[in-house]
Amino acid sequence: MNTSPSSAVQDARAALGRRLRDIRKPTGLTARALAARAGWSESKASRLENGKTSPSDRDLLAYVTICGVPESYEDLRSTAHGIDEMYVEWRRLQRAGLKHGQEAHVPLYGRTSRFRIYEPGVIPGLVQTAGYATAIMSRIVTFRQIPDDVEAAVRVRVRRQCYLHDTHRRFGIVLEESALRSRFGGPGVMAAQLGHLLQVAALPNVSLGVIPTTVERVMWPVEGFWIYDDTQVIIELATAQITVKQPSEIETYARMFAELAKLACHGQAARALIAEAITALG
pLDDT at 39: 96
What pLDDT, on the 0 to 100 scale, is given for residue 3? 43
Backbone CA torsion sign across 38, 44, 50, 55: negative
SS (H, E, C) the chain: CCCCCCHHHHHHHHHHHHHHHHHHHHHCCCHHHHHHHHCCCCCHHHHHHCCCCCCCHHHHHHHHHHCCCHHHHHHHHHHHHHHHHHEEEHHHHCCCCCHHHHHHCHHHHHHCCEEEEEECCCCCHHHCCHHHHHHHHHHHHHHHCCCCCHHHHHHHHHHHHHHHHCCCCEEEEEEEHHHHHCCCCHHHHHHHHHHHHHHHHCCCCEEEEEECCCCCCCCCCCCCEEEECCCEEEEECCCEEEEECCHHHHHHHHHHHHHHHHHCEEHHHHHHHHHHHHHHCC
Contacts of 126 (CB under 8 A, 6+ apart): 115, 117, 160, 161, 163, 164, 171, 173
Domain boundaries of the chain, sorted by first residue = 7-86, 94-280
d(CA 108, CA 13): 24
Angstrom distance (rounded) from CA 158 to CA 117: 17
7-86 with 94-280: one CATH topology?
A: no
Q: What is the pLDDT of residue 248?
A: 80
User: Alpha-carbon distance 194 to 181, whole Å?
Assistant: 10
- Angle at CA 269, nearest 5°, toward 186 and 193? 20
pLDDT of 87 reads 81
What pTM did the predictor assign? 0.80
Residues of the chain with pLDDT under 70: 1-8
Superfamily of domain 7-86: lambda repressor-like DNA-binding domains (1.10.260.40)
Superfamily of the domain at 94-280: Endonuclease Chain A (3.30.870.10)
The pLDDT assigned to 8 comes to 66
